[in-house]
Structure 1
């Protein structure tokens, strides 16, 4: 079973979090994980190349946004929602709320 590095939440830096969230693919992964459920790279990546998905997940994990749990040969990704809320109160809620508004505006016209 593989073990992954997860930074202590008190060492997670806002510039690293913002950099990780600055890419549309990574932001999409965060949106997909915002419901609190775990997902594999395959579930998140869709038709994106596996190596590209792995790269983006690594950036999110090393920035402190994701927790990865291994079970046999599978790896399950989840957002560190509680940790991030304690470190940066309201950041993800604000970001996700803003994204929902953009999607609603685009859909309506």
Structure 2
């Protein structure tokens, strides 16, 4: 099992977090991971976007440090970097996760 940490520079920039989460697809990915735990790209259930577009959104979230990647064989699993976010921005993740999926466009 191989774990690739988030690629974000340390520390994570708050403006990058807000910029990334301004896109409803990326916010929905984060909410999905928060509510259902670790998932592969296939587990995000977003049939309205292509696989390459979904991969692009996941890459952005990983590059700024919101999610991390774990590779097991040929499977790629993503999870939220909770401890890093809570350390740098206490309460931010909790506030973000109060967003309802119905509120997303």
Give me the whole-angstrom Cα distance separating, in 2, the residues matched to 1:2 and 1:50: 23
Are 1:93 and 2:90 an aligned pair?
no
Distance 1:94 1:3, change over 3 A: closer
> Segments of 4+ in structure 1 off by > 4 A?
1-5
- Matched residue, 2:61: 60
More helix by share: 1
Q: Which has the larger radius of gyration?
A: 1
Q: Superposition RMSD on alpha carbons, in Å? A: 2.4
- Matched residue, 2:83: 82
Structure 2 length-normalised TM? 0.83
- Matched residue, 2:37: 37
Return the offset for 1:45.
Answer: 4.3
